[in-house]
């Protein structure tokens, strides 16, 4: 599984989103959180900001809706 990430925003391309990639990123974040107090620094490097993530969700949903219709 290739994980294509837009480095400037820390998000995947909406058309590359899959169940497998979702499980991977969730597991990665859970592992980083389990590291304790140092995890915040790592999570900040990996996770997008709230605004970027909201735009990503909007794009992802619109791509899925277009594929259904």
Domain ranges within the chain, ordered by starting residue = 18-68
| Helices 19-34 and 39-46: angle between axes, nearest 10 degrees | 150
Strands 5-6 and 11-12, bridge-based pairing: antiparallel
Residue 28 DSSP SS3? helix
pLDDT digit string (tens) for the chain, length 69 residues = 444 455 556 777 777 778 898 899 899 889 988 988 778 888 888 888 888 888 888 888 887 777 776
């Amino acid at each position: 599984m290739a994980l294509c990430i837009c480095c400037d925003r820390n998000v995947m391309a909406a058309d590359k989103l899959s169940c497998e990639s979702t499980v991977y990123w969730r597991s990665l974040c859970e592992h980083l959180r389990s590291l304790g107090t140092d995890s915040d620094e790592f999570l900040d490097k990996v996770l997008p900001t709230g605004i970027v993530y909201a735009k990503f969700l909007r794009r992802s949903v619109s791509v899925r809706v277009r594929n259904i219709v």
